[in-house]
Amino acid sequence: MRLTRDQIASARSFLFVPGHRPDRFDKAAASGADVVIVDLEDAVAVDDKDRARGYVSEWLEQGNASLVRINPFGTPWFDADLDTAMRHGCPIMVPKADSVAALTDLGRRTRGECDVVALVETATGIERANEVCATAGIIRLAFGNADFGAEVGVAPDDHLALTYARSKLVTASAASKLAPPIDGVTIAIEDTAVLNADIEHARCLGFTGKLCIHPNQVPVVAAGFAPSESEREWARAVVEAGESVTRVNGQMIDKPVLERARRILGT
């Protein structure tokens, strides 16, 4: 079993699980997350990299579906990580995705067998977001707010300071007809109010999913990115009004508004 491109494109909740903790793999899969990301990069210490890769390979061989976050281009583990993902036909998340040349070479190497989620987490990556989106094999962007914040010298949870970077990913994705991007992590694991505020902010900017670092965040993220009942009611009223320019509840309804309503309803 493998994750399909459509599943990744429509997913709302993405849960990281450390690659060196095989005892947590099945728990992550049972968390309700739309996509599990087994992590061979930041979550795994240097001395555990090879062992973690073996654990991940064994789990994938058992028929489990996952996205694999490999180590960055140019690291000692990149080739082995990529070979493992290719052997299982597994989609990958590429960190530090800011080199179009490297991403293009990756596409040639995988021959299109591994769909790629590009984790954009550098200033260079943000400024090259349009080129990254246009690279063959990229199916969705994700925002690495922690690494990006560290590079530019702002807190990873500062909404105002990171608005430009987030909006850049949203507009670049739309320009290349990709699914809307995946928002970064909320590091306040036990603070649901902070998580909900982050979700609301990301949704307002055009994100439709979020990276999670704890299973408890998954149901909050799933609910937060789902259309509310009031949104559904509005969308149904708009769709029922037909395709001609009209008014619904005092609002002018034309084609762009109708298209938004249909997206909310999934029609």
Binding-site residue positions for Mg(2+): 121, 147
What pLDDT score does 252 carry? 64
* Same-domain pairing of 117 and 244: no
Residue 245 has pLDDT above 80, yes or no: no
* Same-domain pairing of 148 and 247: no
* Same-domain pairing of 180 and 251: no
CATH code assigned at 72: 3.20.20.60
Binding-site residue positions: 69, 121, 147
* Same-domain pairing of 112 and 126: yes
Residue 215 has pLDDT above 70, yes or no: yes
Q: How confident is the model at residue 227 (pLDDT cuts 50, 70, 90)?
A: confident
Q: How confident is the model at residue 228 (pLDDT cuts 50, 70, 90)?
A: low
* Same-domain pairing of 247 and 174: no
**Cβ contacts of 164 within 8 Å, gap of 6 or more:** 126
* Same-domain pairing of 199 and 236: no
* Same-domain pairing of 175 and 266: no
CB atoms within 10 A of CB 259: 11
Residues of the chain with pLDDT > 90, as a percent, come to 82
Residue 133 has pLDDT above 70, yes or no: yes
Beta bridge partners of 35: 14
What value does the mean pLDDT take over residues 230-250?
A: 64
* Same-domain pairing of 211 and 122: yes
* Same-domain pairing of 60 and 175: yes
What pLDDT score does 260 carry? 65
Q: Which tens digit of pLDDT belongs to each residue from 60-87?
A: 999 999 999 999 999 999 999 999 999 9
Q: What is the DSSP-derived secondary structure letter of residue 250?
A: T
What value does the mean pLDDT take over residues 144-173?
A: 98
What value does the mean pLDDT take over residues 119-132?
A: 98
The helix/strand/coil state of 140 is strand
The helix/strand/coil state of 93 is strand
What pLDDT score does 106 carry? 95
Q: What is the pTM of this model?
A: 0.89
Q: How confident is the model at residue 157 (pLDDT cuts 50, 70, 90)?
A: very high
Binding-site residue positions for substrate: 69, 121
What pLDDT score does 256 carry? 67
* Same-domain pairing of 178 and 211: yes
Out of 19-33, 90-104, 108-122, 244-258, pick the least confident.
244-258
Spatial CA neighbour of 248 closest among 263, 256, 260, 258:
258
**Cβ contacts of 230 within 8 Å, gap of 6 or more:** none
What pLDDT score does 258 carry? 66
**Separation of alpha carbons 70 and 240, rounded Å:** 46
> For residue 261, what are the domain limits?
227-267
